[in-house]
Amino acid sequence: MIAEILSVGTELLMGQIANTDAQYISRRLSELGVSLYRHTTVGDNPGRVKEALREALARADVVITTGGLGPTEDDLTKEMVAEVFGLEMALDEVSLHAIEAFMERVGHPMAENNRKQAWFPAGATVMPNACGTAPGCIVERGDKAVAVLPGPPHEMKDMFERRLAPWLARRGGAHIESRFLRIFGIGESAVENRLRDLFHADNPTLALYCGPGEVQARVTARAADAESARAMIAPVAEEIRRRLGNHVYGEGMDNSIERAVFERLRDRGETVSFAESCTGGLVAARLVSVPGASAVLGEAHVTYCDAAKARVLGVREETLRRFTAVSAPCAREMAEGARRVSGADWAAATTGYAGPDGGADGTPAGTVFIAVAGPDGATVEQCRFNGSREFVRAVAASWALNALRLRMEALS
């Protein structure tokens, strides 16, 4: 089954609101196994609504509209559906009574233009509105159908879940499942190269999404039921894990590298501290963003100047003099110092040039040393990130968290 979404509302074309209705319906259609190839948005204009409806019906089996169901003159979605299908408008007595009851409940007099909301294309299946006055409807004509939903998101969602989703599932008879693999420490192009042949499959499909320093792989299968879809995904997900090794740090749309670190620390019953220079508190802030972080983090230190590195963390004056603060020895002493002063099991440290300037000695901006100190000693990596100051700091913070994860995994 192929669907399209047609959003009606001048407020969308004015940019007054984002089209979150389209996002919600899209996500639910994908979960329901309904193919969706296009969204269209038009204003409250009869000619353009009709034109967009005709075009969408030429391509899709089901057109889902949102908006244009209000009591005012420029709300005309149902009327345009009737015109396109060559149907008269008919009064639905049940809806009229429901609207009267609703207005009485909220203590407003029933206005004449509210009666308009009880009229539908003849033969339509009315979808009552549990959260407002505008009922929706499903209008079928041959093998095509238009489902008309209200625009306000809470009314739309309620009607979608109670009325339209069951109707779509009955009509469709397929099920969609997806798995999201979270990948760190390898670029999007490199991931694509390693997985190239897997992109050619039709079902399950593989897609990559790119965040700062991080890649997500989505594997989606369509089958008669959820269990079969999951069984189709499993070998593809396993193959991705095999090819990418420990670059895959977890699964799930809402996962993150800080959550992965938090869970590993919590499961091990261990704690961590941070010593941050160029990231300036970002690593700690990322871990603290996970609810319950106090179980694994007691303290962290931003030591931005040399004096603070020496006084707070015990970095030796000689190290700073001989190698400068942006050096592997300094990063190592920062991590060791943070672990010592906090008494934590682990500590990670960052020191580098976030930019726009590099070091006076010619070290380029984007150079960051990342150290991890743990029960089995300390390690340091020299990284080179390219991008804005903001990007370098964000990726350096993620990289420090990932380095910590890899050290914990290596030890277990």
- Interacting positions 11-50 with a copy of itself (CB under 8 A): 11-20, 22-30, 36-43, 45, 48
Instruction: Choose, by CB under 8 A, the member of 33, 67, 213, 366 that binds a copy of itself.
Output: 366
Of 167-175, 240-248, 303-311, 315-323, which segment contacts a copy of itself by CB under 8 A?
Answer: 303-311
If the CB atoms of residues 193 and 246 are measured against a copy of itself, the closer one turns out to be 193
- String marking each residue 262-301 x if it binds a copy of itself according to CB under 8 A: ------------x-x-xxxxxxxx-xxx-x-xx--xxxxx
Q: Are 1 and 172 in contact (CB under 8 A)?
A: yes
108 binds a copy of itself, rule: CB under 8 A: yes
Reported as type and span, the H/E element at residue 259 is: helix 257-268
Residue among 384 and 411 whose Cβ is closer to a copy of itself: 384
Convert residues 83-102 into a mask of x (bound to a copy of itself by CB under 8 A) and - (unbound): -------------------x
Residue 314 within binding range of a copy of itself, rule CB under 8 A: no
List, in sequence order, every beta strand (DSSP E) within 153-295: 175-184, 205-211, 214-223, 248-251, 272-276
282-283-285-289 Cα dihedral, nearest 10 degrees: 130
CB of 122 to a copy of itself, least distance (A): 25
What residues have CB less than 8 Å from 345, skipping those under 6 apart?
A: 268, 270, 271, 272, 339, 374, 375
Q: How far apart are alpha carbons 114 and 95 in whole angstroms?
A: 11
- Residues in the interface with a copy of itself (CB under 8 A) total 101
DSSP-derived letter for residue 178 is: E
Q: Within 157-186, which residues bind a copy of itself (CB under 8 A)?
A: none
CA distance 237 to 228: 15
Which residue lies nearer to a copy of itself by CB, 17 or 224? 17
- The residues, any chain, with a CB within 8 Å of residue 51's CB and separated by 6 or more, are 42
Shortest gap between Cβ of 29 and a copy of itself (angstroms)?
8
> Least distance to a copy of itself from the beta carbon of 166, Å?
19
Candidates 85-93, 120-128, 304-312, 368-376: pick the segment binding a copy of itself (CB under 8 A).
Answer: 304-312
| Main-chain phi, psi angles of 202, to 5 degrees | -90, -35
Query: Which is nearer to a copy of itself, 106 or 143 (by Cβ)?
Result: 106
Amino acid, res. 241: R
Rounded least distance, CB 239 to a copy of itself, Å: 19
Q: CB-wise, 125 or 363, nearer to a copy of itself?
A: 363
Which residue lies nearer to a copy of itself by CB, 136 or 355? 355
CB of 386 to a copy of itself, least distance (A): 4
By CB under 8 A, the residues from 390 to 409 that bind a copy of itself are 390, 393
Site for a copy of itself in 211-240 (CB under 8 A): 218
What is the β-pairing status of strands 175-184 and 248-251?
antiparallel
Tokens of 145: 């159908």
Task: Write 169-174 long-range contacts (CB < 8 A, 24+).
Answer: 169/32, 171/1, 171/62, 171/145, 172/1, 172/32, 172/33, 172/34, 173/33, 173/224, 174/1, 174/33, 174/34, 174/222, 174/223, 174/224
Lookup: tokens for 231: 């069984």
Identify which of residues 124 and 403 has a Cβ nearer to a copy of itself in the complex: 403
Please state the closest distance from residue 123 (CB atom) to a copy of itself, in A: 28
Binding mask 185-214 for a copy of itself (x = CB under 8 A): --xxx--xx-----x-------xxxx----
Q: In terms of CB distance, is 248 or 300 closer to a copy of itself? A: 300
43 vs 250 by CB, closer to a copy of itself? 43
Beta-bridge partner residues of 125: 138
Residue listed under structure tokens 């962290």 = 300
- 205 C-beta neighbours (distance < 10 Å), count: 16
Minimum CB separation from a copy of itself for residue 278, in Å? 8
Residue 108 CA: distances (Å) to CA of 104, 151, 218? 6, 21, 49
Among 91, 97, 113, 246, binds a copy of itself (CB under 8 A): 113
Q: Which is nearer to a copy of itself, 52 or 371 (CB)?
A: 52
Taking the least distance from each CB to a copy of itself, the nearer of 246 and 386 is: 386
Enclosing H/E stretch for 46: helix 46-59
* Min separation Cβ 99 and a copy of itself, Å: 11
Distance CA 315, CA 319 (A): 7
